């Protein structure tokens, strides 16, 4: 049985990122595996023994509530420290960092990612694509990554975190204004997402795992303690067509970087 934790869908469920848990469950079931989703709502303890955890996006107030709960509960931190895979989207990425800006103030994050989030000058919105860096637990990724970004957070990665992807389209983690005074500012402006330990985080909506089946299977393989290459492949033409359509989609002009 594969147990998938859907973390705080009541506050981090604004952009349809709950779909990532559905994709994981369906891809497992298509391989003949039993899989169930376990919603964990605000105020409920986060079990630390599930096989994989997903977090989605939300607004400022929701982020603050999520951070307070996850810090005080500690279950997700214990799960990540035990090596259980965690997949976080947008606000989920920010909440798992060291700090983020919300409602005009700096809020302490969960601390699973060496990342801090301030504000962007202009909203990053539109198609985003990247080449996987193959950092850490993503070493087996070979296929380009695609999603839809919609955020005002400028996320800067510290030395303990590495980017999930190197941008080929879109804005990614941070803009010119947020990185102008950084010694590695030009590199930071090429980053999309973050990888640290067993945590993979990204600004890609879509849902991300519907648009990136190899990434979904990487997470499944990690949850099951096996190599990605040993996971039975799935042939789903509709998903292949979706990827082609999204990579070929017209894109809005990239902001000044």
Mind listing the pLDDT tens digit of every residue in the chain (257 residues)?
Answer: 999 999 999 999 988 999 999 999 999 999 999 999 999 999 999 999 999 999 999 999 999 999 999 999 999 999 999 999 999 999 999 999 999 999 999 999 999 999 999 999 899 999 999 999 999 999 999 999 999 999 999 999 999 999 999 999 999 999 999 999 999 999 999 999 999 999 999 999 999 999 999 999 999 999 999 999 999 999 888 888 888 888 887 454 444 44
Run of H or E residues at 240:
helix 237-247
How far is it, in rounded angstroms, from Cα 39 to Cα 47? 11
Amino acid 251: pLDDT: 53
In the residue annotation, 38 being an active-site residue is answered as no
In the residue annotation, 205 being an active-site residue is answered as yes
Count of CB atoms situated within 10 Å of the CB of 131: 15
Q: Which CATH number fits domain 2-247: 3.10.20.30, 1.20.810.10, 3.40.50.880, 3.40.50.410?
A: 3.40.50.880
How far is it, in rounded angstroms, from Cα 58 to Cα 64? 10
pTM (predicted TM-score)? 0.95
**CA neighbor of 202 nearest in space, from 134, 159, 148, 251:** 148
The verdict on whether residue 123 carries a ligand-binding annotation is yes
**Catalytic position from the list 38, 69, 90, 151:** 90
Amino acid 253: pLDDT: 41
């Amino acid at each position: 049985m594969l147990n998938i934790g859907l973390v705080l869908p009541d506050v981090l469920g604004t952009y349809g990122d709950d779909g990532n848990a559905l994709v994981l469950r369906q891809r497992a079931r298509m391989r003949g595996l039993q899989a169930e989703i376990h919603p964990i709502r605000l105020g409920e303890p986060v079990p630390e023994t599930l096989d994989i955890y997903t977090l989605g996006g939300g607004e400022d107030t929701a982020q603050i509530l999520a951070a307070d709960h996850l810090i005080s509960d500690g279950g997700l931190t214990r799960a990540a420290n035990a090596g259980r895979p965690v997949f976080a989207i947008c606000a989920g990425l920010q909440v798992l960092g060291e700090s983020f800006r919300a409602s005009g103030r700096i809020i302490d994050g969960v601390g699973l990612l060496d990342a801090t989030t301030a504000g962007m000058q202009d909203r990053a919105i539109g198609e985003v694509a990247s080449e996987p860096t193959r950092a850490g637990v993503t070493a087996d990724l070979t296929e380009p990554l695609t999603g839809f970004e919609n955020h005002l957070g400028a996320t800067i990665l510290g030395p303990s975190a590495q980017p999930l992807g190197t941008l080929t389209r879109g804005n990614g983690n941070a803009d010119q204004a947020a990185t102008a005074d950084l010694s590695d500012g030009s590199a930071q402006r090429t980053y999309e997402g973050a990888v640290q330990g067993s945590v993979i985080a990204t600004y890609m909506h879509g849902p991300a795992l519907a648009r990136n089946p190899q990434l979904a299977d990487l997470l499944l393989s990690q949850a099951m303690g096996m190599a990605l290459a040993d996971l039975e492949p799935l042939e789903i033409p509709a998903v292949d067509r979706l990827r082609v359509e999204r990579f070929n989609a017209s894109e809005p002009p990239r902001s000044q970087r």
